[in-house]
């Protein structure tokens, strides 16, 4: 005979103010099989848990139903309490009287009635619960880091320094990401490349880091602790082991006028190239779309000048399979181009540039070697207008969010310009100045007060060209609130930060969630900021939301510490909510008839084929078997099984039907 | 193709030539314009700055009449009328209680089956026909001027790029003209301040005329009666204000298309303009059609 205990929680006023908890407990006490039923103000508190433990011991309970909040919240708490009192944790069930009842209904007799129904349903279920035991799965202690910007570099170094192997995958020919493109960094104005390149070298030399540049994730399968990743190593066209990175091929390449991605299209590169001088690895790639040899079948000049004969024109993409236990996604961001803004010329005006392009103009390694010269004619601009919030915080443009870094880098740009062109006149159009951060506000004040940058609060409605000047039409919303027109030589748009163009495709490939703006969704916006909802996958950097370098590095270290924490155990304990195929006595062995409909239905490839053999090794029957390490407990196979041979532990057909009958 | 037609007040008065040119062009583009019986004023600025329900009821009555007459689409040439009718249709479809209230006020049912389209919408669709039938291509540089209501608010119009629209450019190009890239195509002309504050209009409309002229436009092309008034009728005020005289005629887009299709100046009402429609001898003068009457 079952001996069930029912514990009704008031959750302070959350449940108690709407549901008559005492009445629920009283009604539950009268249900067949229930031998104990009480209510208490906070069941999750220590005294509340003790009520459960004592009742289990004294009343020799065979099952427990806690009528409280969502099982997402406190099921682990109550199951642990049951286990401590000697009851198998999986003999404890929760009836959700808060989210499913008190929070969504008014205080009415029917609300209490519904609460009683919910409890009765779970009592009928728990009567049919069986003791279950957690499944242990081994952990592959290797991490996969996607993206070799500052976020990926930091995460990879932290994990590698803790002693775990790391596979770092970068899509471009070199690691470094956007940070390598930046000139100086706010609020200290130290050189971005100078602080980044030592980290890049450290990655390349780290014995625990295997670096795949010019590579992309092809597929990801498996689950926490046991992922299988396939990496597409795109054909570089050279043999990396033989190439010494001397650069002779780059100097001789006849195709020299390809817009340089690294210089944000302000400079040129050759068809065989390294993105920038400090590239890691310093080995070139051939851009096959532009290479004369691949386009016409003739040239091969690079092969002739290569001292080590490292060119491999027939090289093909290589698929590499790696087993990893955790993944850190750090795929970064892009900025909107000037062509996104019809009112700012739709990309027609050469001297309307993005903030990222200004970084390249201001950078010593950039196309102008750090001199501020406008792209159209190379003149030093006398008047520069910076427009903050270009696209960001603009519902009409479809981008509601704040890109977060623009206020700071715009102040930095105006300052850098003023430091290089002393007589220049910088203007900044802004909506608000968001300078939250250590020394950030002081930095902006410095731009305004010491470097005399003119800040104009208002937006720009249009930019047009007239007599060689860019006329910037805007409004000053302070003081007299008047329209303003500035004849500028250069306009810098702080264009919105957006996810990589293929962020959505990558998220779908990895089965991780993303928001309406295509940024990745962390598991909890406050309390689980570096985890994804998919266990074993973590996130760092601007692919999750716009953020600056300090914040990105902090999040990367956070993600790394989560990975290291996961790798600190040898085995993972998983909930035993998995499907099982029944086994019966010979000669039947199982009611499974071996149709393997389940095999095609399973979204996780968890169904295996098991051959049942006699002592002589003759196959008697082939039946389905569920790989408990892979099964996610979705129940699709259960619904499809024609002979009703599969059941889901913890949610058996018998349990679910009993719940329905009790309603 | 049969279209419901709501000329609105100005096309019967100050913008007669817009009506005349539209009526003249329509049959050549296989468009049959059927005037909505017993239509009324859209309420324009006056109604919607004073009484919200009146501002909805006036356009709703015309919409309901058009719907009752069975039109799928209602052509509204005036930009202000277009905006008011489109806004009314959107508001009534979005709010059932409001729809019931307004339909009870106008004592006519309206379910929203009739869509509101502008002259730019209709001519845009007819662009291939215009290109095919343009016997006298209008081989001149023109500045297309949209004003406010034709492209905005973006949620109300069909314009793909409200801040830098291209629809009129496509139409004039199909008629042989070269549309210019210029700076003021969606700036305000001063609108109804034409009556109360002519000096403000002289400043606002003056910038538009000046920029178009400086960029070498041979004509301004408009699709709104009020814009036309401010750029054409108010030209003396503009010229006084700026101290410059501009020989820049202002054509309705229907007039430009009509010229390309070989219609006479008189049929298109060009003689009604205050700024004379005269062009420097160039690649193609407007059709030297026989004078009527």
Q: What is the CATH number of the domain that holds B74?
A: 1.20.1050.140
Q: Identify the residue whose tokens are 């009752």.
A: B68
For A452-469, the pLDDT digits (tens) are 999 999 999 999 999 999
Q: How far apart are the first and last CA of chain B?
A: 31
Residue B289 lies in a domain: no
Minimal Cβ distance to A342: which of B163, B183, B214: B163
Q: Identify the residue whose tokens are 């000053």.
A: A476
3-state secondary structure of A527: coil
Residues of chain B found within 8 Å of residue A348, distances taken between Cβ atoms = 181
- CB within 8 Å: B183 and A346: no
SS3 letters across chain B: CEEEECCCCHHHCCCHHHHHHHHHHHHHHCCEEEECCCCCCCCHHHHHCCCHHHHHHHHHHHHHHHHHCCCCEEECCCHHHHHHHHHHHHHHHHCHHHHHHHHHHHCCCCCCCCEEECHHHHHHHCHHHHHHHCCCCCCCEEEECCCCCCCCCCCCCCCCCCCCCCHHHHHHHHCCCEECCCCCCCCCCCCCHHHHCHHHHHHHHHHHHHHHHHCCCCEEEECCHHHHHHHHHCHHHHHHHHCCCCCCCEEEHHHHHHHHCCCCCCCCCHHHCCCCCCCCCCCCCCCCCCCCC
d(CA A3, CA A24): 18
Minimal Cβ distance to A462: which of B154, B181, B183: B183
Residues of chain B found within 8 Å of residue A341, distances taken between Cβ atoms = 163
Banded pLDDT at B292 (limits 50, 70, 90): very low
Give me the pLDDT at residue A628, please: 86
Residue B288 lies in a domain: no
Indicate if B220 and B160 belong to the same structural domain.
yes
pLDDT at B192 over 90: no
Strand order in the sheet with A34-40: A34-40, A4-9, A63-68, A92-96
Q: Which whole number is the average pLDDT over B146-162?
A: 88
Backbone angles phi, psi at B150, to 5 degrees: -70, -30
Residues of chain B found within 8 Å of residue A339, distances taken between Cβ atoms = none
Banded pLDDT at A381 (limits 50, 70, 90): very high
d(CA A424, CA A422): 6
- CB within 8 Å: A471 and B183: yes
Q: Which whole number is the average pLDDT over A361-384?
A: 95
Q: Which whole number is the average pLDDT over A326-333?
A: 98
Give me the pLDDT at residue B283, please: 54
Indicate if B182 and B102 belong to the same structural domain.
no
Out of B76, B91, B117, pick the residue that ends a domain: B117
The C-alpha of A346 sits at a distance from chain B's nearest C-alpha, in angstroms, of 8
Q: Is B283 exposed, middle or buried (0-12, 13-18, 19+ CB in 10 A)?
A: exposed
Indicate if B71 and B163 belong to the same structural domain.
no
Asked if residue B22 lies in contact with residue B119, where contact means CB atoms within 8 angstroms, the answer is yes
d(CA A511, CA A537): 10
Across the A/B interface, how many CB contacts are shorter than 8 Å?
A: 18
Give me the pLDDT at residue A535, please: 86
CB count, 10 Å around CB of A477?
Answer: 13
Backbone angles phi, psi at A246, to 5 degrees: -70, -30
The C-alpha of A463 sits at a distance from chain B's nearest C-alpha, in angstroms, of 8
Q: Which of B164, B187, B208, B210 to mutate to test the interface with A (most CBs of A within 10 A)?
A: B164
Give me the pLDDT at residue B289, please: 44
Q: Which of A346, A471, A475 to mutate to test the interface with B (most CBs of B within 10 A)?
A: A346
For A282-307, the pLDDT digits (tens) are 999 999 999 999 999 999 999 999 99
Indicate if B205 and B249 belong to the same structural domain.
yes
Dihedral of the CA atoms A402, A404, A408, A410 (nearest 10)? -50
Nearest to A454 by CA among A478, A476, A428, A480: A428
d(CA A365, CA A182): 10
Give me the pLDDT at residue B157, please: 85
Indicate if B144 and B250 belong to the same structural domain.
yes
- CB within 8 Å: B163 and A466: no
For B24-56, the pLDDT digits (tens) are 999 999 999 999 999 999 998 888 889 999 999
Give me the pLDDT at residue B288, please: 45
Name which of A209-223, B116-130, B150-164 the model is least confident about: B150-164
Banded pLDDT at B287 (limits 50, 70, 90): very low
Nearest to A206 by CA among A238, A245, A162: A162
For A526-570, the pLDDT digits (tens) are 999 999 988 899 999 999 999 999 999 999 999 999 999 999 999
Say how far residue A501 (Cα) sits from the centre of its chain: 15
Please state which CATH number belongs to domain A143-332+534-567: 3.50.50.60
Give me the pLDDT at residue B261, please: 96
The C-alpha of B187 sits at a distance from chain A's nearest C-alpha, in angstroms, of 10
Identify any residues that bridge with A12 across adjacent strands, giving them in sequence order: none
The C-alpha of B258 sits at a distance from chain A's nearest C-alpha, in angstroms, of 30
Residues of chain B found within 8 Å of residue A343, distances taken between Cβ atoms = 163-164
Q: What percent of chain A has pLDDT over 70?
A: 100
- Per the structure, the count of domains in chain B is 2
By C-alpha distance, the chain A residue nearest B181 is A464
A380 touches B at CB < 8 Å = no
Indicate if B112 and B137 belong to the same structural domain.
no
Residue B285 lies in a domain: no
Give me the pLDDT at residue B282, please: 61
- CB within 8 Å: A343 and B164: yes
How many helices (H) and strands (E) would you count in chain A? 18, 36
Give me the pLDDT at residue B280, please: 76
Indicate if B97 and B223 belong to the same structural domain.
no
Q: Tell me the domain boundaries of chain A.
A: 4-133, 143-332+534-567, 334-498, 579-662
Give me the pLDDT at residue A232, please: 98
pLDDT at A56 over 70: yes
- CB within 8 Å: B182 and A464: yes
Q: Which residues of B touch A (CB under 8 A)?
A: 154, 161-164, 181-183, 211, 214
Residues of chain B found within 8 Å of residue A471, distances taken between Cβ atoms = 183
Minimal Cβ distance to B154: which of A343, A396, A466: A396
Banded pLDDT at B13 (limits 50, 70, 90): very high
Beta strands (DSSP E) in A391-453 are 425-430
- CB within 8 Å: A348 and B181: yes
Residue B235 lies in a domain: yes
ipTM of the complex: 0.78
Q: Is A527 exposed, middle or buried (0-12, 13-18, 19+ CB in 10 A)?
A: exposed
Indicate if B148 and B83 belong to the same structural domain.
no
A29 touches B at CB < 8 Å = no
pTM score, whole prediction: 0.81
Give me the pLDDT at residue B285, please: 46
For B239-259, the pLDDT digits (tens) are 999 999 999 999 999 999 999
- CB within 8 Å: A466 and B161: no
The C-alpha of B176 sits at a distance from chain A's nearest C-alpha, in angstroms, of 24
Q: Is A436 exposed, middle or buried (0-12, 13-18, 19+ CB in 10 A)?
A: exposed
Second CATH level (architecture) for the domain A4-133: 3-Layer(aba) Sandwich (3.40)
B243: alpha, beta or left, given left = phi > 0 and alpha = psi -120 to 50? left
Has domain A579-662 been given CATH number 3.30.70.20? yes
d(CA A53, CA A91): 13
d(CA B4, CA B64): 12
Indicate if B143 and B243 belong to the same structural domain.
yes
- On the CB side of A241, CA atoms within 13 Å amount to 0
For A569-590, the pLDDT digits (tens) are 999 888 899 999 999 988 889 9
- CB within 8 Å: A346 and B164: yes
pLDDT at A347 over 70: yes
Nearest to B18 by CA among B179, B256, B188, B255: B255
Indicate if B157 and B255 belong to the same structural domain.
yes
Indicate if B224 and B265 belong to the same structural domain.
yes
> Topology of domain A334-498, per CATH?
FAD/NAD(P)-binding domain (3.50.50)
Indicate if B113 and B136 belong to the same structural domain.
no
pLDDT at A595 over 90: yes
Q: If you average pLDDT over every residue of chain A, what do you get?
A: 95
For A92-140, the pLDDT digits (tens) are 999 999 999 999 999 999 999 999 999 999 999 999 999 999 988 899 9
d(CA B24, CA B32): 11
Asked whether the domain spanning A579-662 has the same topology as the one spanning A4-133, the reply is: no
For B203-216, the pLDDT digits (tens) are 999 999 999 999 99
Give the total residue count for chain B.
Answer: 293
Q: E strand or H helix at A347, and its extent?
A: none
Chain A from 452 to 511: CB within 8 A of any B CB: 462, 464, 466, 471
- CB within 8 Å: B163 and A471: no
A342 touches B at CB < 8 Å = yes
For A129-184, the pLDDT digits (tens) are 999 999 888 999 999 999 999 999 999 999 999 999 999 999 999 999 999 999 99
For B65-94, the pLDDT digits (tens) are 999 999 999 999 999 999 999 999 999 999
**In which domain, by residue range, is B230 found?**
132-272
Tokens (6 digits) for A295: 């386009």
Residue B290 lies in a domain: no
């Amino acid at each position: 005979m079952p001996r069930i205990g029912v514990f009704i929680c008031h959750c302070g006023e959350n449940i108690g103010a709407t549901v008559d908890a005492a009445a629920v407990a009283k009604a539950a006490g009268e249900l067949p099989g229930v031998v104990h039923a009480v209510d208490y103000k906070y069941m999750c508190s220590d005294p509340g848990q003790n009520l459960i433990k004592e009742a289990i011991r004294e009343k020799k309970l065979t099952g427990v139903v806690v009528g409280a909040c969502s099982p997402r919240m406190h099921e682990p708490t109550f199951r642990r309490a049951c286990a401590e009192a000697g009851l198998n944790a999986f003999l404890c069930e929760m009836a959700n009287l808060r989210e499913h009842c008190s929070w969504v209904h008014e205080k009415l007799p029917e609300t209490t009635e519904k609460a009683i129904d919910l409890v009765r349903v779970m009592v009928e279920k728990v009567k049919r619960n069986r003791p279950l035991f957690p499944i242990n799965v081994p952990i592959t202690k290797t991490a996969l880091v996607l993206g070799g910007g500052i976020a990926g570099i930091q995460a990879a170094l932290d994990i590698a320094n803790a002693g775990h192997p790391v596979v770092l995958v970068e899509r471009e020919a070199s690691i470094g990401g956007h940070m390598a493109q930046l000139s100086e960094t706010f609020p200290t104005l130290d050189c971005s490349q100078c602080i980044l390149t030592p980290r890049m070298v450290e990655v390349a030399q780290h014995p625990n880091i295997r670096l795949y540049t010019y590579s992309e994730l092809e597929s990801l399968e498996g689950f926490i602790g046991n992922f299988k990743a396939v990496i597409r190593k795109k054909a570089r066209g050279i043999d990396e082991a033989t190439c010494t990175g001397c650069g002779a091929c780059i100097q001789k390449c006849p195709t020299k006028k390809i817009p340089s991605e690294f210089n944000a299209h302000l400079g040129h590169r050759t068809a065989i190239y390294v993105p920038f001088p400090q590239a890691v690895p310093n080995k070139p790639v051939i851009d096959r779309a532009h290479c004369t040899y691949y386009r016409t079948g003739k040239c091969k000049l690079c092969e002739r000048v290569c001292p080590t004969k490292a060119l491999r024109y027939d090289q093909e993409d290589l698929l590499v399979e790696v087993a990893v236990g955790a993944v850190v996604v750090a795929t970064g961001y892009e900025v909107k181009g000037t062509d996104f803004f019809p009112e700012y010329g739709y990309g027609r005006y050469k001297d309307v540039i993005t903030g990222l392009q200004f970084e390249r103009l201001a950078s010593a390694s950039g196309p102008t070697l750090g001199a501020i010269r406008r792209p159209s004619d190379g003149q030093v601009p006398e008047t520069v207008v910076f427009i903050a919030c270009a696209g960001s915080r603009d519902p009409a443009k479809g981008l509601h969010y704040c890109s977060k870094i623009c206020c700071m880098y715009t102040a930095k740009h105006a300052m850098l310009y003023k430091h290089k062109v002393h007589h220049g006149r910088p203007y900044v159009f802004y909506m608000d100045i968001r300078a939250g951060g250590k020394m950030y506000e002081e930095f902006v004040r410095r731009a305004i007060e010491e470097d005399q940058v003119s800040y104009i609060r208002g937006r720009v409605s249009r930019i047009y060209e007239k007599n060689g000047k860019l006329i910037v039409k805007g409004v000053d919303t302070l003081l007299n609130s008047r329209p303003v027109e500035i004849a500028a030589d250069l306009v810098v748009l702080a264009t919105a930060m957006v996810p990589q163009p293929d962020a959505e495709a990558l998220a779908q490939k990895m089965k991780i969630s993303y928001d309406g703006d295509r940024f990745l969704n962390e598991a909890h916006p406050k309390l689980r900021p570096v985890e994804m909802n998919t266990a074993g996958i973590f996130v760092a950097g601007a692919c999750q939301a716009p953020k600056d370098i300090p914040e990105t590095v902090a999040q990367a270290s956070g993600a790394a510490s989560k990975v290291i924490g996961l790798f600190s155990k040898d085995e993972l304990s998983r909930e035993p909510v998995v499907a099982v195929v029944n086994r019966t006595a010979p000669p039947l062995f199982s009611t499974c008839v071996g149709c393997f409909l389940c095999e095609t239905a399973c979204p996780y490839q968890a169904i295996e084929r098991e051959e049942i053999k006699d002592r002589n090794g003759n196959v008697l029957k082939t039946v389905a078997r569920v790989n408990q390490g892979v099964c996610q407990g979705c129940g699709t196979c259960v619904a499809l099984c024609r002979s009703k041979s599969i059941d889901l532990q913890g949610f058996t057909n018998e349990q679910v039907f009993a719940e329905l009958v009790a309603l | 193709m049969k279209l419901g037609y709501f000329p609105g007040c100005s096309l019967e008065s100050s913008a007669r030539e817009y009506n005349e040119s539209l009526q003249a062009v329509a049959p050549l583009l296989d468009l049959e314009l059927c005037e909505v019986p017993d239509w009324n004023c859209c309420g324009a600025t006056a109604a919607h700055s004073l009484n919200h329900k009146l501002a909805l009821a006036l356009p709703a009555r015309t919409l309901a009449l058009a719907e009752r007459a069975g039109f799928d689409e209602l052509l509204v040439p005036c930009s202000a009328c277009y905006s008011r009718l489109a806004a009314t249709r959107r508001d009534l479809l979005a709010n059932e209680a409001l729809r019931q209230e307004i339909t009870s006020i106008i004592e006519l049912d309206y379910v929203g089956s009739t869509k509101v389209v502008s002259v730019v919408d209709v001519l845009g669709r007819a662009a291939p026909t215009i290109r095919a039938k343009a016997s006298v291509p209008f081989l001149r540089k023109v500045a297309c001027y949209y004003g406010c209501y034709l492209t905005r608010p973006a949620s109300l119009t069909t314009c793909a790029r409200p801040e830098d629209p291209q629809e009129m450019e496509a139409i004039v190009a199909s008629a042989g003209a070269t549309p210019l890239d210029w700076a003021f195509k969606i700036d305000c002309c001063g609108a109804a301040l034409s009556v109360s504050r002519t000096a403000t209009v002289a400043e606002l409309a003056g910038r538009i005329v000046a920029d178009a002229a400086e960029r070498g436009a041979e004509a301004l092309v408009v699709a709104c009666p009020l814009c036309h008034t401010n750029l054409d009728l108010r030209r003396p005020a503009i010229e006084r204000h700026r101290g410059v005289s501009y020989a820049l005629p202002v054509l309705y887009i229907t007039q430009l298309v009509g010229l390309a299709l070989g219609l006479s100046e008189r049929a298109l009402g060009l003689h009604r303009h205050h700024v004379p429609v005269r062009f420097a001898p160039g690649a193609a003068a407007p059709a030297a059609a026989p004078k009527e009457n």
